[in-house]
Amino acid sequence: MVELRGLSKRYRIGDQVVDAVVDVNLSIGSGEFVAILGHSGSGKSTLLSMIGGLARPTAGTVVIGGEDIWRRDDRFRALFRNRRIGFVFQFASLIPTLNAVENVALPRRFGEAAAMARAEQDAILLLDRVGLSDRLYCYPSELSGGQQRRVAIARALINRPGLILADEPTGDLDEETEAQVMSLLRESALEFGAAFLLVTHSRDLTRDATQVVRLRGGALQ
């Protein structure tokens, strides 16, 4: 499903050269749950950005479903992200002027026109699945942190992605909500047969992972 070969990212801050990610090689199969552990500044988010088609690597390749995404143009990567990748960010990151259903349906807006027609129905089904059937038309300001996170998860799943990328998805949640969100993410990935890549600094969240890798100074250990 996902093949990372010699993936590196180097950037400059003034005169200083920073190697954020150094020669990462990793394979993730469909339905697999891979956790990347590391401290702040270890390069976790940069690695995730490169896998998600958001940051161009300095060297190496990212092949997802047989497609080397960094050999293609921006337009392709935008469509690829839309159809094949579901993002769950560190914070809920919902659009404040859209209600829960509209937030979940948002990725459909940027995809094919045909998919847009069923966007609202699919969004309602997903919100029902994440336990928010009674909060469908609430705006983000009317939802708790946990509920917002569930809306974000439903949004990541709306296009049935083959790869779910989660960057510290429970960073600001209490323990109980954290467990619910993690379980929801894991179950959803299994249900859709999607590869699930989690970036975290918390060892507790990696309990169910099929593969745990540690990143230090940008390199896998």
Binding site for another protein (CB under 8 A): 45-46, 49-50, 52-56, 74-75, 78-79, 81-83, 87, 89-91, 93, 95-98, 102, 105-107, 109-111, 119, 155
Residue 39 sits at φ, ψ, to 5 deg, of -80, 175
| Coil vs helix vs strand at 76 | helix
- CA end-to-end span of the chain: 22
- 146 vs 161 by CB, closer to another protein: 161
CB of 78 to another protein, least distance (A): 4
Q: In the bound complex, what is the minimum distance in angstroms from residue 76's beta carbon to another protein?
A: 10
Question: Which C-beta is closer to another protein: that of 68 or that of 204?
Answer: 68
Which lies closer to another protein via its Cβ, residue 7 or residue 29? 7
Q: DSSP H helical segments within the chain, as ranges?
A: 44-51, 74-84, 100-109, 113-117, 119-129, 145-157, 175-192
Nearer to another protein, 98 or 219 (CB): 98
Closest separation in Å from C-beta 68 to another protein: 18
Three-class secondary structure of residue 93 per DSSP = coil
Cβ 8 vs Cβ 60: under 8 Å = yes
Shortest separation between residue 15's beta carbon and another protein, angstroms: 21
